[in-house]
């Protein structure tokens, strides 16, 4: 009986989350699943009384890009896990369970790279919710608060509902992509997913030029981006255009 009641409550929460999402606005230049995800991020911020939201698109190889964000400031934070190589969203994705951090200052040692930059930029709390259905995982919904704050029980329930709806949107997008070309490739090569081919091109160039493994080339690029306070994509474009390579031993 308890299981059925929990399922019924989750279903009602999902209906509410969809309704709230449909009432939110998206940028005029977005359409389809991209617009739906941005509406969801904005609705989550408004109705959870938080300050920012980002949907990370991820694979088992790591972050692949940002699917949507509530605002430009949140989008900047969305790049941090990809740049620093750590963060609550990576744990939420790998462990397949929510990571709720009401006070990021107290968790500084857990994710030193992410936390140092996020705290400096004014993030006080992070709530990371995996986007998954069965064995298929698409990424993580990250919710931010500029001040340390703890989610109430009803907020957690609604946040989880937003995560389930986001997963449903991504699943439909994956199905549509697979159906359009018969490839069976999920979202990871679709228009919605920012796969950052320039970063992978630069990674290959660093690997060859410095005699590193592919993984070490990415570590070197991330270290250079982190130490210089620049987005990883800027470092990649600089390398592709013939700029200086990162030091093989670090920034």
- Segment-wise mean pLDDT, segments of 10 residues, the chain, 251 residues: 51 83 84 91 97 90 81 88 89 95 95 93 96 85 97 96 92 62 39 58 87 79 76 86 75 43
Per-residue model confidence (pLDDT) at position 59: 77
**Residue 199, C-beta contacts closer than 8 angstroms, at least 6 positions apart:** 221, 232, 233, 236
* 3-state DSSP assignment of residue 222: helix
Let me know: does 163 contact 129? Beta carbons within 8 Å: yes
- pTM, two decimals, is 0.73
Per-residue model confidence (pLDDT) at position 184: 35
**Residue 197, C-beta contacts closer than 8 angstroms, at least 6 positions apart:** none
Q: Spell out the domains of the chain, with CATH numbers in brackets.
A: 2-189 (3.30.450.40), 197-240 (1.10.10)
**Residue 67, C-beta contacts closer than 8 angstroms, at least 6 positions apart:** 34, 37, 55, 56, 57, 139, 170, 192, 193, 194
């Amino acid at each position: 009986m308890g299981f059925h009641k929990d399922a019924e409550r989750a279903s009602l929460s999902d209906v509410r989350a969809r309704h709230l999402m449909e009432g939110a606005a998206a940028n005029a230049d977005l359409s389809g699943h991209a617009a739906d995800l941005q509406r969801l991020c904005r609705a989550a911020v408004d109705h959870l009384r938080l300050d920012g939201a980002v949907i990370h698109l991820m694979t088992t190889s790591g972050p692949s890009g940002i699917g949507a964000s509530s605002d430009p400031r949140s989008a900047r934070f969305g790049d941090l896990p990809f740049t620093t190589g750590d963060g609550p969203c990576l744990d939420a994705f790998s462990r397949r369970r929510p990571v709720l951090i009401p006070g990021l200052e107290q968790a500084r040692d857990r994710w030193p790279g992410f936390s140092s930059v996020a705290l400096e930029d004014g993030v006080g709390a992070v709530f990371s919710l995996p986007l998954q259905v069965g064995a298929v995982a698409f990424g993580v919904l990250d919710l931010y608060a500029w001040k340390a704050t703890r989610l109430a029980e009803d907020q957690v329930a609604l946040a989880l509902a937003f995560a389930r709806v986001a997963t449903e949107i991504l699943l439909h997008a994956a199905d549509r992509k697979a159906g359009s070309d018969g490839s069976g490739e999920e979202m990871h090569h679709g228009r919605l997913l920012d796969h950052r081919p320039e970063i992978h091109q630069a990674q290959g160039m660093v690997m060859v030029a410095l005699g590193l493994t592919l993984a070490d080339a990415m570590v070197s690029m991330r270290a250079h981006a982190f130490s210089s306070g620049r987005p990883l994509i800027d470092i990649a474009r600089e390398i592709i255009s013939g700029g200086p390579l990162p030091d093989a031993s670090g920034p």
